[in-house]
Amino acid sequence: MTRQETLMEPTISAAGVRKLVVHHFNQHGVRIPRYHALEEHVRVEGGRHVAHCYRAGGLFAMWMMDIGLLQFYDQAGNMLDTLNLLSRPAAEVRRAA
């Protein structure tokens, strides 16, 4: 990757991703009155920070940082939705919170 390509990479805000997770959980019937009601964990593999995991009301979401995907799962582990945070429609996530 060249320096110019690096400068063009979108910046994804952790606070913005958290807001998306709360919004999607709400759409699936899980009401989260405050962000601190959302259980959040950081996943580290090989000494690298690779993902953020979120849980509330039996739902689970994982933000895979390297590839910019945010995936949502139900209690049984079935995938409910996938968002590409690097695409144009997810621009609100790129704004600093």
Beta strands (DSSP E) in 31-97 are 39-45, 48-56, 59-64, 69-73, 79-84
Question: Is residue 5 in some structural domain?
Answer: no
Question: Is residue 53 in some structural domain?
Answer: yes
Question: Is residue 64 in some structural domain?
Answer: yes
Tokens encoding 83: 């968002």
Question: Is residue 23 in some structural domain?
Answer: yes
Question: Is residue 9 in some structural domain?
Answer: no
Q: Is 66 helix (H, G, I), strand (E, B) or coil?
A: coil
pLDDT tens readout for residues 10-31? 678 889 999 999 999 999 999 8
For residues 18 and 5, what is the distance between their CA atoms, to the nearest angstrom?
26
Query: Which range of residues forms the domain containing residue 39?
Result: 15-94
* Nearest residue to 74 via CA among 5, 33, 28, 14: 28
Kindly state the DSSP code that residue 16 receives in the 8-state scheme.
H
Question: Is residue 31 in some structural domain?
Answer: yes
This prediction's pTM: 0.76
CATH code, 90: 3.10.380
The total number of structural domains that make up the chain = 1
pLDDT tens readout for residues 41-92? 999 999 998 999 999 999 999 999 999 999 999 999 999 999 999 886 554 4
Question: Is residue 87 in some structural domain?
Answer: yes
